[in-house]
């Protein structure tokens, strides 16, 4: 057996241990990326083999949190893919206006930038007051940051550009308070957002939501996990509800795809058939 | 070296490698038997490199999609703002993991996963660029027994990337682009000949 085949066994064992001990299951994540993260965890640890880390994983909860954080990539931006947000404004917002109450689920919200972008958009479309946004992730540390809504001021420049390209109508700075090196999200934007821990691998559907945003999460899943989650989304949406995925993601392979029509193929916007 | 064993070519470059990349894509024959997978540093909001190179040469050029099966006759580019990885079953994956050497897509990320997936059956090529990204990846390609090639730095528009790769990875070949192209063709015709012979 060559060293990489042995490494593969070690990685399987490591992921099994993480799952059985802590209930975080990365076994059906795209393997090349998981392997890369595992090698980084190993490199930082100073140990020689991934299997050397399994006892530590089992008995040291601190280390487990570190490993879970390494495996869940929380990279995000405000108004990432401005054209997408522009399309949401043009195609989804008018539809949402026909509802007196709106429920939206942002799954895999990471540190919150995306959900606050959505809040800004809904505010400008006059929809924010009748919306409840459930923003979920399984990464507790990321969720804490999302709740705080405090971001590095230096990133705001990029975000401002994104916001304008996304069809933003105001001064972006109206939505936060600048303090030292931080931008603190305006309290009013937070009032209708509910952050919660939800694991897409193990947890179930929400009820009767009009739109789901789950962007740049599917790319990390293998097909079987993508199928599971696509099914959860199909169950959660009302008829006529929208599913928005990341620019490189799709549900076209999934058995639930026939419940949807494609609203914008390029922006990966789907609508559950009525 | 068993020249017939190659299964894929990976290429790394940054903006400074555009001319070299254009030449390679223009000169490879339509029946080039190996898939080509490229990570080139581009601005996150730039239109995809695949579109920029679209009409060059005879191979089909496209952005890599997640879970897409890698096939000969195609050149797959990492989409702007995504890392492109290769799975062991020779399908593509995308990720928005943090930038590596300030780059997403990163050449290291592509090359390291490609080395795992193809081992000695991989050809890794580093072209011009302004960054050390790719050096570690090429080292990995060499460690697994793959063929390592770097563009001759004297010829590259921006030579930092090839220089770093030469220092770190001690490649088997350091060649001007023209020679890289003829080497690729030579290796793969031999490949075809041997395949024909085996039959
Ligand atoms: C790359 S981020 C994308 C963030 C944001 N949606 C965006 O597009 O900018 C992926 C997020 O998915 C979350 N995630 C990954 N697996 C998950 C799971 N099984 N359940 C819930 N969230 C998950 C990660 O913790 C991370 O915050």
How confident is the model over A122-146, as pLDDT tens digits? Answer: 999 999 999 999 999 999 999 999 9
The pLDDT assigned to B2 comes to: 41
**What gap in Å lies between CA A181 and CA B114, rounded to an integer?**
40
| Number of neighbours of residue A116 by Cβ within 10 angstroms | 27
- Tell me the residue ranges of DSSP E strands in chain A: 102-107, 131-137, 150-152, 176-179, 182-185, 193-197, 209-214, 237-245, 260-264, 269-272
Architecture of the domain defined by A82-272 = 3-Layer(aba) Sandwich (3.40)
Measure the CA dihedral B128/B133/B136/B142, to 10°. -30
Question: Is residue A136 within 8 Å of residue A107, measured between CB atoms?
Answer: yes
CA of A263 vs chain B CAs: smallest distance (Å): 20
Q: In chain A, which segments carry CATH 3.40.50.150?
A: 82-272
Domains and CATH numbers, chain B: 3-192 (3.40.50.180)
Does A163 reach chain B within 8 Å, measured CB to CB?
A: no
In whole numbers, what is the pLDDT of chain A averaged over residues?
A: 96
Chain B interface with A: residues with Cβ < 8 Å: 65-67, 79, 82, 85-88, 93-98, 109, 112-113, 116-117, 119
B4 pLDDT higher than 70:
no
Rg of the Cα atoms in chain A: 20
Label residue B194 by pLDDT band (50, 70, 90).
Answer: low
CA of A12 from ligand 1 middle (Å) equals 22
Which residues have C-beta within 8 Å of that of residue B169, sequence separation ≥ 6? B126, B135, B136, B138, B139, B141, B142, B148, B150
Portion of chain A with pLDDT greater than 70, in percent: 100
- Tell me the residue ranges of DSSP E strands in chain B: 8-13, 36-40, 60-63, 74-77, 83-86, 92-95, 122-126, 147-151, 173-175
Higher pLDDT, B131 or B3: B131
**What gap in Å lies between CA A196 and CA B16, rounded to an integer?**
45
**What gap in Å lies between CA B184 and CA B62, rounded to an integer?**
21
Q: Is B133 a catalytic residue?
A: yes
Question: pLDDT tens-digit profile of A196-235?
Answer: 999 999 999 999 999 999 999 999 999 999 999 999 999 9
Label residue B191 by pLDDT band (50, 70, 90).
Answer: low
| Number of neighbours of residue A239 by Cβ within 10 angstroms | 10
The predicted model gives A91-103 an average pLDDT of 96
In the set B14, B48, B106, B113, the catalytic residue is B14
The predicted model gives A58-77 an average pLDDT of 96
The pLDDT assigned to B16 comes to: 85
| pTM across the whole model | 0.95
């Amino acid at each position: 057996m060559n060293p990489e085949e042995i490494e593969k066994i070690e990685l399987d064992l490591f992921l099994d241990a993480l799952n059985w001990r802590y209930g975080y299951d990365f076994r059906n994540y795209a393997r090349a990326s998981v392997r890369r993260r595992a090698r980084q965890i190993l490199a930082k640890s100073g140990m020689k083999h991934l299997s050397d880390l399994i006892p530590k994983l089992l008995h040291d909860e601190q280390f487990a949190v570190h490993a879970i954080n390494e495996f869940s990539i929380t990279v995000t931006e405000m108004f990432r893919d401005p054209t997408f947000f522009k399309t949401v404004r043009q195609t989804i917002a008018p539809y949402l206006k026909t509802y007196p109450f709106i429920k939206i689920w942002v799954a895999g919200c990471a540190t919150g930038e995306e959900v606050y972008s959505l809040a800004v958009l809904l505010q400008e479309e006059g929809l924010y007051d009748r919306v409840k946004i459930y923003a979920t992730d399984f990464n507790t540390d990321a969720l804490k940051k999302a709740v705080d809504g405090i971001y590095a001021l230096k990133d705001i420049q990029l975000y401002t550009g994104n916001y304008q390209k996304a069809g933003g109508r105001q001064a972006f700075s109206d939505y936060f308070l600048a303090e030292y090196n931080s931008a603190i999200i305006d309290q009013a934007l937070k009032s209708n957002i509910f952050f919660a821990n939800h694991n897409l691998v193990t947890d179930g559907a929400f009820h009767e939501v009009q739109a789901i945003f789950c962007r740049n999460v599917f790319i990390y899943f293998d097909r079987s996990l993508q199928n599971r989650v696509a099914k959860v989304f199909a169950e959660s949406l009302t008829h006529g509800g929208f599913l928005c995925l990341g620019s490189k993601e799709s549900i076209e392979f999934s058995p639930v795809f026939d419940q949807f029509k494609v609203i914008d193929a390029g922006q990966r916007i789907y609508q559950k058939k009525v | 070296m068993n020249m017939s064993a190659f299964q894929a070519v990976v290429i790394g470059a940054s903006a400074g490698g555009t001319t070299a990349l254009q030449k390679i894509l223009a000169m490879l024959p339509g029946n080039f038997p190996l898939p080509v997978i490229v990570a080139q540093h581009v601005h996150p909001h730039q239109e995809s490199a695949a579109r920029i190179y679209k009409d060059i040469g005879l191979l089909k050029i496209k952005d890599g999609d997640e879970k897409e099966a890698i096939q000969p006759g195609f050149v797959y580019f990492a989409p702007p703002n995504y890392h492109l990885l290769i799975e062991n079953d020779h399908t593509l994956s995308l990720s928005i993991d943090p930038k590596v050497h300030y780059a997403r897509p990163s050449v290291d990320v592509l090359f390291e996963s490609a080395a795992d997936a193809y081992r000695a059956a991989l050809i890794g090529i580093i072209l011009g660029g302004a960054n050390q990204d790719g050096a570690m990846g090429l080292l990995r390609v060499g460690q697994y027994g793959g063929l390592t090639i770097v563009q001759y730095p004297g010829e590259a528009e921006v030579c930092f990337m090839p220089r770093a790769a030469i220092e770190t990875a001690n490649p088997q070949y350091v060649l001007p682009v023209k020679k890289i192209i003829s080497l690729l063709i030579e290796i793969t015709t031999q490949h075809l000949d041997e395949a024909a012979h085996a039959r």
